[in-house]
């Protein structure tokens, strides 16, 4: 059979020259060389991030990356792939092309040829090639290495003798100082004895390689830097060509090798305008001593300070110092939820020029679009929405940004092999990173955070108001200095005064009926009352009962609203508790605990784990708006069941409350008792999929998986034209329990299969989606 005139790397596009396999492989090598050049800031920070210390090892990394780039798609030189990219319809391929590339790398002739250079580790190159699409499993999953992807004849014609392949091999020989390349003449791949031997040899090599990685941290660093670097270089080579935004070299020079971020940039873009805004509202603005001192306490810091004392400004002051100490290109502020990331953007990142600042969450385009109609002081007159080029570049479109407010998943999900997370990794390595509200991380999130801190080197600040002793000590053991602590705390009179101020009086009640009476009495007396419960059903039921009894529409806030309604609920609750002139009452779930600037006169809470209860307390008498002598009442009672928490969680809280007693209490006292009674967790082992996978790579979950709910649209919204736009559809989505979501049955063709349909009759914009008929 004749050889094809060209080998293609991508599908043909109308009006464009076809992209040949040879050109794409050369483009990917060029992208790798230009992005990670060792005299550039990104290359230096990449090596620092992966702890590749000396110049010889850095040169070795770049060589391995360039070779992996030239090998990564060599498996596309086969008959199936050529048919697939030339066809106007779907054509099923026998093998994934990167799996075939790894087979070729394990042929005896290639092993002998490349093995002649003793500086090369062929397992590093093979692992990077096999896993560059994050679809290679060791066990019998969908992407098991070498698993056939279709039925029929298990024979696949190869084009390894093609001139394009031969010229790539010559390029490999040139940069790796090898002899003339061998001729890869075997005409077909088949599921026979020869290729089975190759596969077994590869599997054995992968197993032995994994053993070596456990004992050799230097080898592990080389592997991880090469695997992630290949994905980024391939994304650039594919994306820049696809979008047509100039040459690869020009794009990389413009985006990657822009000047470093200077301390005065952060002052001008963030600190100064934010300070002016505070001065306009409060009459003056001056950084507190603890905010200035935090900036001087090193590049790995754990900031523990009470609610409402100004941790975020301290963090931004810290980034100013990091830009003085390190050559960095950006600041990345990471939050646990979309809502907190959006607030962080509105309050801080939004002050930056629109070309430099961005919000990055799963719903950020929708959030940014809404800000155009209701901008904050920071975002007024700015259009932060991505342009067409940025959208088509996907994750790469965020590389030029300098200030990020993002959910922690967007960046740290590289630890679970998120493709977009890996593509954002070069930007992360070039940053100062702040990770907020670390107390709220579920066990899987905290395990990934430990893996990040243990294996990678980047200026990082973790912060929260409260943290259990076990988590604090675990972070300390990873090199984070706790601030303020020891002598620092003694010297910080302003911070001590705020944290030691008597803010609350804790009262324990027998149950919900008494709490209802107290809430109504406080509201009628003109107070701002915030009630926090542990389940959505009780939130809705209590809000309805209070509304009926008081004759008003009691504010309700929880997670079971459509996004567009949740935004309105969020704004309404925050607005009601920002002022002190008028009474207010709201019933919420745990969504109020993190970073929401709520300031209640009375807080009512169901019994909850100690860290959650302390965070809820931080929403009462937050700003001392009623004067230094005012004490907020905090009423705590046992709910009708322990879920979603455990019996032990609530028993620990009872002991905590017994020790607190009924005398006036401060934030500091609550933090001290949290340390005494807080939950003890087993130490994380530092593992994550990215760190541990060796040859293989498949995506996992960054958070503890939620099998209870599904994203849905309401049946009553199905006629809305906006639902047919993926960007606008986001505003109509909500998560509902699986048993209330319909995935099969009649549905519009444009609705993705993973989105269910929920009964719109169970929904209201004021109360959200209802599963308990008692709340109707």
CATH topology identical between 21-255 and 263-493: no
Give the count of beta carbons closer than 10 Å to the beta carbon of residue 763: 22
Local confidence band at 742 (pLDDT 50, 70, 90 cut-offs): confident
Task: Check: CB of residue 189 under 8 Å from CB of residue 158.
Answer: yes
> What's the chain's average pLDDT?
92
Local confidence band at 89 (pLDDT 50, 70, 90 cut-offs): confident
* pLDDT for residue 503 is more than 80: yes
Task: Check: CB of residue 222 under 8 Å from CB of residue 229.
Answer: no
* pLDDT for residue 338 is more than 60: yes
Q: Whole-angstrom distance between the N-terminal and C-terminal Cα of the chain?
A: 72
Please tell me the predicted confidence (pLDDT) of residue 159. 95
| Segment 612-629 mean pLDDT | 90
Please tell me the predicted confidence (pLDDT) of residue 206. 96
Local confidence band at 126 (pLDDT 50, 70, 90 cut-offs): very high
Q: What is the pLDDT of residues 631-656, one digit of tens each?
A: 999 999 999 888 888 888 899 999 99
The first and second tokens of residue 729, run together, are 């559809």
Residue with the bigger pLDDT between 309 and 258: it is 258
| Segment 100-129 mean pLDDT | 97
Please tell me the predicted confidence (pLDDT) of residue 757. 94
* pLDDT for residue 1 is more than 80: no
Alpha carbon distance 155, 556 (integer Å): 62
Please tell me the predicted confidence (pLDDT) of residue 775. 63
Pairing of strands 155-157, 188-190: antiparallel
The CATH H-level superfamily of 263-493 is: P-loop containing nucleotide triphosphate hydrolases (3.40.50.300)
Q: What is the pLDDT of residues 140-157, one digit of tens each?
A: 888 999 998 888 778 999
* pLDDT for residue 61 is more than 80: yes
Rounded (5°) CA angle 735-764-338: 40
> What is the residue whose two structure tokens read 């004021």?
766
Task: Check: CB of residue 536 under 8 Å from CB of residue 774.
Answer: no
| Segment 176-189 mean pLDDT | 89
Report DSSP state, residue 354. Answer: T
Could you name the CATH architecture of 21-255?
Answer: Orthogonal Bundle (1.10)
The first and second tokens of residue 61, run together, are 């990394």
Please tell me the predicted confidence (pLDDT) of residue 486. 79
Please tell me the predicted confidence (pLDDT) of residue 444. 94
Which burial class, exposed, middle or buried, applies to 376 when counting CB atoms under 10 A from its CB (0-12, 13-18, 19+)? middle
HSE, CB side, 13 Å, CA atoms: give it for residue 610: 29
Q: What is the pLDDT of residues 450-486, one digit of tens each?
A: 999 999 999 999 999 888 889 999 999 999 999 998 7
Please tell me the predicted confidence (pLDDT) of residue 595. 58
Q: What is the pLDDT of residues 400-421, one digit of tens each?
A: 999 999 999 999 999 999 999 9
C-alpha 477, offset from chain centre: 24
Alpha carbon distance 423, 421 (integer Å): 5
Alpha carbon distance 125, 127 (integer Å): 6
Q: What is the pLDDT of residues 354-400, one digit of tens each?
A: 999 999 998 888 788 878 878 888 898 888 877 777 778 889 999 99
Tell how many helices (H) and how many strands (E) occur in the chain: 33, 22
HSE, CB side, 13 Å, CA atoms: give it for residue 396: 25
> What is the residue whose two structure tokens read 């991880």?
224
Q: What is the pLDDT of residues 656-706, one digit of tens each?
A: 999 998 899 998 899 889 888 888 888 888 899 999 999 999 999 999 877
Which burial class, exposed, middle or buried, applies to 758 when counting CB atoms under 10 A from its CB (0-12, 13-18, 19+)? buried
Task: Check: CB of residue 378 under 8 Å from CB of residue 350.
Answer: yes
C-alpha 759, offset from chain centre: 31
Please tell me the predicted confidence (pLDDT) of residue 37. 97
Report DSSP state, residue 591. Answer: G
Alpha carbon distance 647, 200 (integer Å): 50
Please tell me the predicted confidence (pLDDT) of residue 482. 95
- Give Cα separations from 74 to 40, 81, 99, 150, 573 (angstroms): 29, 11, 10, 21, 57
Alpha carbon distance 130, 520 (integer Å): 64
- Of 616, 606, 629, give the one whose Cα is nearest residue 307: 616
Percent of the chain with pLDDT over 90: 72
Please tell me the predicted confidence (pLDDT) of residue 336. 93
Alpha carbon distance 704, 445 (integer Å): 7
Alpha carbon distance 645, 447 (integer Å): 20
Please tell me the predicted confidence (pLDDT) of residue 391. 76
Positions of E strands within 620-708: 632-637, 665-666
- Of 702, 98, 52, give the one whose Cα is nearest residue 421: 702
**At how many degrees (to 10) do helices 536-550 and 512-524 cross?**
50
- Spatial strand order in the sheet of 481-483: 357-360, 403-407, 330-335, 431-436, 460-464, 300-304, 481-483
The full set of domain ranges for the chain reads 21-255, 263-493, 501-677, 709-775
Fold of 501-677: Rossmann fold (3.40.50)
**At how many degrees (to 10) do helices 108-115 and 122-130 cross?**
130
| Segment 274-282 mean pLDDT | 90
């Amino acid at each position: 059979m004749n050889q094809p005139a060209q080998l293609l790397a991508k599908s043909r596009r109308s009006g464009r020259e076809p992209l040949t396999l040879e050109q794409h492989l050369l483009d990917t090598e060029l992208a790798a060389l230009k992005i990670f050049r060792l005299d550039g800031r990104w290359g230096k920070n990449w090596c620092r991030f992966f702890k590749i210390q000396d110049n010889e090892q850095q040169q070795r990394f770049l060589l391995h990356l360039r070779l992996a780039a030239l090998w990564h798609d060599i498996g596309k030189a086969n008959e199936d792939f050529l048919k697939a990219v030339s066809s106007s319809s779907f054509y099923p391929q026998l093998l994934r092309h990167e799996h075939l590339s790894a087979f070729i790398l394990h042929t005896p002739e290639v092993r002998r040829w490349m093995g002649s250079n003793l500086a090369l580790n062929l397992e590093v190159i093979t692992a990077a090639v096999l896993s560059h699409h994050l679809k290679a499993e060791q066990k019998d999953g969908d992407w098991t290495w070498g698993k056939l992807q279709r039925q029929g004849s298990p024979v696949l014609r190869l084009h390894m003798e093609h001139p394009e392949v031969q010229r790539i091999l010559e390029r490999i020989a040139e940069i790796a100082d090898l002899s003339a390349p061998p001729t890869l003449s075997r005409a077909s791949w088949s599921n026979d004895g020869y290729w089975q031997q190759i596969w077994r040899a590869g599997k054995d090599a992968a197993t032995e390689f994994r053993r070596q990685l456990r004992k050799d941290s230097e080898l592990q660093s080389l592997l991880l830097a090469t695997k992630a670097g290949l994905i980024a270089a391939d994304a650039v080579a594919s994306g820049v060509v696809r979008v047509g935004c100039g040459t690869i070299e020009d794009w990389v020079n413009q985006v990657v090798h822009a000047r470093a971020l200077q301390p005065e940039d952060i002052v001008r873009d963030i600190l100064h305008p934010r300070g002016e805004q505070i001065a306009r509202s409060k009459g003056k603005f001056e950084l507190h001593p603890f905010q200035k001192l935090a900036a001087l306490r090193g590049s790995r810091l754990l900031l523990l300070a009470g609610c409402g004392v100004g941790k975020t400004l301290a963090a931004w002051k810290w980034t100013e110092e990091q830009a003085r100490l390190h050559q960095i290109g950006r600041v990345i502020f990471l939050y646990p939820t979309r809502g907190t990331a959006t607030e962080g953007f509105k309050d801080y990142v939004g002050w930056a020029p629109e070309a430099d600042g961005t919000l990055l969450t799963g719903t950020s385009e929708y959030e940014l679009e809404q800000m155009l109609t209701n901008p904050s002081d920071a975002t007024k007159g700015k259009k932060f929405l991505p342009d067409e080029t940025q959208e088509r570049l996907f994750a790469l479109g965020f590389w030029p940004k300098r200030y990020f407010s993002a959910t922690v998943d967007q960046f740290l999900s590289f630890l679970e092999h998120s493709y977009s997370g890996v593509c954002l990794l070069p930007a992360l390595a070039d940053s100062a990173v702040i990770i907020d509200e670390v107390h709220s991380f579920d066990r899987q999130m905290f395990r990934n955070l430990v893996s990040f801190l243990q294996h990678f080197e980047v200026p990082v600040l973790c912060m929260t108001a409260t943290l259990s002793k076990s988590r604090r000590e675990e972070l300390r053991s990873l090199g984070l200095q706790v601030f303020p602590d020891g002598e620092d705390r003694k010297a910080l009179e302003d911070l001590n005064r705020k944290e030691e101020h008597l803010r609350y009086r804790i009262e324990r009640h027998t149950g919900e009926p008494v709490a209802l009476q107290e809430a109504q009495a406080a509201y009628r007396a003109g107070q701002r009352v915030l009630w926090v419960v542990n389940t959505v059903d009780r939130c809705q039921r209590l809000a309805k009962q209070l509304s009926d009894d008081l004759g008003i529409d009691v504010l309700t806030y929880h997670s079971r609203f459509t996004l567009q309604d949740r935004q309105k609920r969020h704004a309404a609750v925050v607005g009601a508790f920002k002022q002190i002139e008028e009474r207010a009452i709201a019933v919420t779930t745990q969504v109020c605990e993190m970073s929401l600037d709520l300031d209640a006169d009375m807080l009512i809470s169901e019994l909850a784990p100690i860290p959650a209860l302390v965070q809820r307390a931080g929403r009462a008498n937050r700003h001392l708006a009623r004067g230094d002598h005012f004490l907020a009442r905090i009423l705590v009672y046992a709910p009708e069941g322990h879920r979603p928490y455990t019996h032990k969680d609530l028993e620990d809280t009872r002991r905590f409350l017994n020790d607190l007693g009924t005398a006036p209490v401060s934030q500091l006292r609550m933090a001290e008792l949290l340390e005494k009674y807080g939950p003890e967790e087993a130490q994380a082992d530092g593992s994550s999929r990215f760190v541990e996978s060796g040859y293989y790579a498949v995506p996992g979950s960054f958070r503890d998986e939620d099998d209870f709910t599904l994203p849905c649209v309401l049946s009553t919204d199905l006629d809305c034209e906006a639902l047919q736009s993926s960007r606008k559809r986001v505003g109509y989505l909500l998560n509902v329990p699986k048993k209330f979501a319909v995935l099969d049955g009649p549905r519009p063709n444009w609705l993705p299969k993973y989105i269910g349909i929920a009964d719109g009759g169970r929904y209201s914009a004021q109360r959200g989606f209802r599963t308990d008929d008692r709340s109707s």
